[in-house]
């Protein structure tokens, strides 16, 4: 995830997770995969999650941003939203990811913003809009997560 200390959490999120004993920036990341891709979470709240990723190092053989890299960014952002919505006693697991790639990107960074479409007791769906440095839409994704009780809590 890169520089974890730069993630901004609203105070109400910090308060809810304070007694969990969990490291929020570490929990809400793409783990080793996110580190390899250079993914950074900028802000995280159940209503809006924003992250960035460099294009360089995440391209396919034609030199364009790999669609799978966009999918990793989208699933990470939507999953973080679903986990924050579910709270510390629950876990969120992705069950459906749909990505539509609108344009190719060869350089710079992409930025993804996830916002909720539905936040229920057992599922949460987020729309993720990914843009380039010129704020042009690169990809639109939708992620649905199943929210379950955490067996370890």
Per-residue pLDDT of the chain (153 residues; tens, 9 = 90+): 344 447 888 888 888 888 888 777 777 777 789 889 999 999 999 999 999 999 999 999 999 999 999 999 999 999 999 999 999 999 999 999 999 999 999 999 999 999 999 999 999 999 999 999 999 999 999 999 999 998 876
Torsion sign, CA atoms 17, 19, 24, 28: negative
Question: pTM above the 0.85 mark?
Answer: yes
- pLDDT score, position 85: 95
Contact 9, 24 (CB under 8 A): yes
Catalytic residues: 75
What is the Cα–Cα distance from 94 to 75, expressed in whole angstroms?
7
User: Any alpha helices (H) in 8-142, and if so which ranges?
Assistant: 11-17, 24-27, 31-37, 67-86
């Amino acid at each position: 995830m890169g520089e974890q200390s730069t993630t901004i959490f609203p105070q109400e999120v910090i308060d809810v997770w304070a007694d969990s004993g969990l490291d929020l920036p570490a929990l809400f990341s793409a783990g080793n995969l996110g580190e390899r891709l250079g993914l950074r979470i900028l802000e995280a709240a159940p209503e809006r999650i924003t992250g960035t990723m460099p294009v360089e190092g995440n391209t396919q053989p034609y030199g364009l941003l790999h669609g799978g890299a966009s999918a990793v960014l989208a699933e990470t952002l939507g999953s973080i939203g679903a986990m924050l919505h579910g709270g510390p006693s629950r876990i969120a697991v992705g069950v459906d990811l749909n990505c539509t790639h609108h344009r190719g990107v060869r350089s710079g960074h992409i930025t993804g913003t996830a916002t909720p479409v539905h936040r229920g007791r057992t599922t949460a769906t987020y729309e993720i809009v990914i843009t380039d440095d010129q704020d042009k839409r690169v990809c639109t994704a939708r992620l649905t997560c199943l929210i379950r009780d955490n067996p370890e809590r």
